[in-house]
Amino acid sequence: MAEKKKGKRPKSKSKHKVSKKYERYKIEGDKIIRDREFCPKCGPGVFLGKRKLEGKTIYYCGSCFLTIEKKE
């Protein structure tokens, strides 16, 4: 049988996605302010997800699956 030639892969048509980690910070003057809290178990660098549900706020860590509920 004839061997198939290996050519170049076709270029991907999808554009590069910008990381969303830069949306978690705000710059005011010379200070950097974090919009969300860090996970107390995982430490700095792992943000908690946030959602509001029936008068309380639920914070969730996707790495260690920690859930914290706070009443408003």
In a domain, 32, yes or no: no
pLDDT of residue 40: 95
In a domain, 60, yes or no: yes
pLDDT of residue 59: 95
**Torsion angle, alpha carbons of 18, 19, 24, 29, to 10:** -60
In a domain, 70, yes or no: yes
The range of the structural domain enclosing residue 54 comes to 37-72
In a domain, 18, yes or no: no
Report, as ranges of residue numbers, the positions in the chain whose pLDDT lies below 70: 1-2, 5
In a domain, 12, yes or no: no
The number of folded domains in the chain is: 1
Contact (CB, 8 A) for 39 and 26: no
Q: What is the pLDDT of residues 24-41, one digit of tens each?
A: 889 999 999 998 889 999
pLDDT of residue 6: 75
Per-residue CA distances from 53 to 5, 44, 59, 66, 72 (Å): 58, 26, 11, 17, 10
pLDDT of residue 41: 95
